[in-house]
């Protein structure tokens, strides 16, 4: 089977990841969210905690194929291309943080797109310069080195929510005013030091692209994905007994556990779509998967617009944001507080899918 055919499953995985991202980022009310759709409070891993590493994993698989046209070794042209893309993605993330108030004094410097930019840029340069064998040594070195950094950064309690090395580095370089405070304390889950192991997550995707390339058949690819995926999950869980699985710290065990699940899930999609031929259900997710950056940006701007810029007077004269009005006066009457919050998120998945469908039909694929 042709490689291009095999990558349909990758588009579907990307689309599923984007759809889940919308669901977890857009509840009607954060007071009414089912536990699997929330991040783990600190240690642990929920389905929501898999969204980001799955996306970085997909970046790595795509990178393998996009870099095939480059000769091994960083050239002026390839370096320029990588840096340009890195800067654009980073600045788009910064724009989202600034919109719509543009308060530069307290803007959060980092975020999801910024993490993607950093992980992509550094991994891209590594993959351009080194072959897969060397990259595997780099991968292991990152995981073990990051473990050592965290441990010796605070030997008394290295993985606590505060006073860990990740927080200390960000406080020293970024400053408290420019960090995330949504966890109830000042800590950036997309911090500078924790970007290091996110490179390993992208590398796992790159290795997976190489597996697809060298495998003689789809079934061989699937078998390798299942074997390697199970090994990564088991090693991640076992190592996690002393180095906890933690998304906010992006621990090495989290890299292995989430990466293993990504391999297993991609293998499952390959089996369903390519081997069994069950692919009609996947079409909406292909639409999502072909314009991921657009829908991420649009969803972020849309949500902030109806929260900060759209004000509506409710039936009782209370002032509501457009977001709150939709939830309280459209979805709660239909399904109640908890299920109305879920229905709100699902409705937005459908709304954003329609936009990607229109772009897909018009063959508009927004890339940088």
Residue 331, judged by CB atoms within 10 A of its CB (0-12, 13-18, 19+), counts as buried
Check: pTM over 0.85? Answer yes or no. Answer: yes
Task: Give the distance from CA 111 to its chain's centroid.
Answer: 11
Q: Residue 297 has what pLDDT?
A: 96
Closest CA to 88 of 66, 65, 106, 113: 113
E strand segments, the chain: 311-313, 319-321
Q: Residue 311 has what pLDDT?
A: 92
The tens-digit pLDDT sequence of the chain (368 residues) is 444 445 789 999 999 999 999 999 999 999 999 999 999 999 999 999 999 999 999 999 999 998 887 777 888 989 999 999 999 999 999 999 999 999 999 999 999 999 999 999 999 999 999 999 999 999 999 999 999 999 999 999 999 999 999 999 999 999 999 999 999 899 999 999 999 999 999 999 999 999 999 999 999 999 999 999 999 999 999 999 999 999 999 999 999 999 999 999 999 999 999 899 898 899 999 999 899 999 999 999 999 999 999 999 877 778 899 999 999 999 999 999 999 999 999 999 999 999 999 999 999 998 88
Task: Give the distance from CA 365 to its chain's centroid.
Answer: 20
Closest CA to 259 of 244, 237, 242, 285: 237
Please name the residues in contact with 134: beta carbons below 8 A apart, sequence gap of 6 or more.
Answer: none
Q: Residue 315 has what pLDDT?
A: 78
Sign of CA dihedral 43, 49, 50, 53: negative
Query: Residue 84: in which H helix or E strand, if any?
Result: helix 76-98
Residue 142: other Cβ atoms inside 10 A = 20
Please name the residues in contact with 163: beta carbons below 8 A apart, sequence gap of 6 or more.
Answer: 154, 157
Q: Residue 13 has what pLDDT?
A: 95
- State the Cα–Cα distance between residues 254 and 245, nearest whole angstrom: 5
Q: Residue 325 has what pLDDT?
A: 95
- State the Cα–Cα distance between residues 349 and 34, nearest whole angstrom: 17
Q: Residue 72 has what pLDDT?
A: 75
Please name the residues in contact with 9: beta carbons below 8 A apart, sequence gap of 6 or more.
Answer: 266, 269, 270, 273, 274
């Amino acid at each position: 089977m042709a490689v291009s055919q095999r990558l349909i499953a990758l588009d579907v995985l990307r689309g599923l990841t984007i759809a889940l991202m919308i669901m977890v980022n857009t509840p009607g009310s954060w007071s009414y969210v089912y536990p699997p759709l929330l991040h783990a409070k600190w240690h642990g891993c929920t389905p929501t905690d898999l969204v980001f590493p799955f996306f970085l994993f997909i970046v790595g698989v795509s990178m393998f194929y996009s870099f095939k046209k480059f000769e091994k070794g960083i050239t002026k042209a390839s370096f320029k291309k990588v840096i340009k893309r890195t800067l654009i993605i980073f600045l788009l993330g910064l724009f989202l943080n600034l919109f719509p108030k543009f308060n530069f004094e307290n803007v959060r410097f980092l975020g999801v797109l910024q993490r993607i930019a950093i992980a992509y840029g550094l991994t891209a340069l590594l993959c351009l310069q080194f072959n897969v064998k060397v990259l595997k040594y780099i991968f292991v070195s990152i995981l073990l080195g990051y473990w050592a950094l965290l441990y010796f950064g605070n030997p008394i309690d290295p993985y606590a929510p505060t006073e860990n090395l990740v927080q200390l580095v960000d406080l020293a370089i970024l400053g408290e005013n420019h960090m995330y405070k949504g966890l109830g304390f000042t800590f950036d889950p997309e911090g500078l030091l924790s970007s290091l192991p996110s490179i390993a997550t992208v590398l796992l995707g790159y290795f997976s692209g190489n597996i697809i390339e060298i495998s003689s058949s789809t079934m061989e690819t699937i078998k390798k994905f299942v074997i390697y995926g199970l090994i990564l999950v088991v090693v991640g869980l076992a190592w996690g007994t002393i180095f906890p699985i933690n998304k906010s710290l992006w621990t090495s065990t989290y890299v292995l556990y989430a990466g293993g699940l990504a391999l297993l899930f991609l293998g499952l999609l390959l089996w369903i779509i390519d081997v069994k031929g069950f692919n009609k259900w996947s079409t909406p997710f292909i639409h999502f998967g072909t314009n991921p950056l657009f829908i991420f940006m649009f969803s972020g701007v849309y949500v902030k617009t109806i929260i900060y810029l759209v004000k509506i007077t409710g039936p009782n004269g209370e002032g509501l944001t457009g977001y709150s009005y939709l939830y309280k006066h459209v979805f709660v009457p239909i399904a109640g507080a908890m299920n109305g919050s879920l229905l709100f998120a699902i409705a937005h998945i459908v709304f954003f899918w329609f936009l990607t469908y229109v772009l897909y039909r018009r063959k508009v694929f927004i890339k940088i």
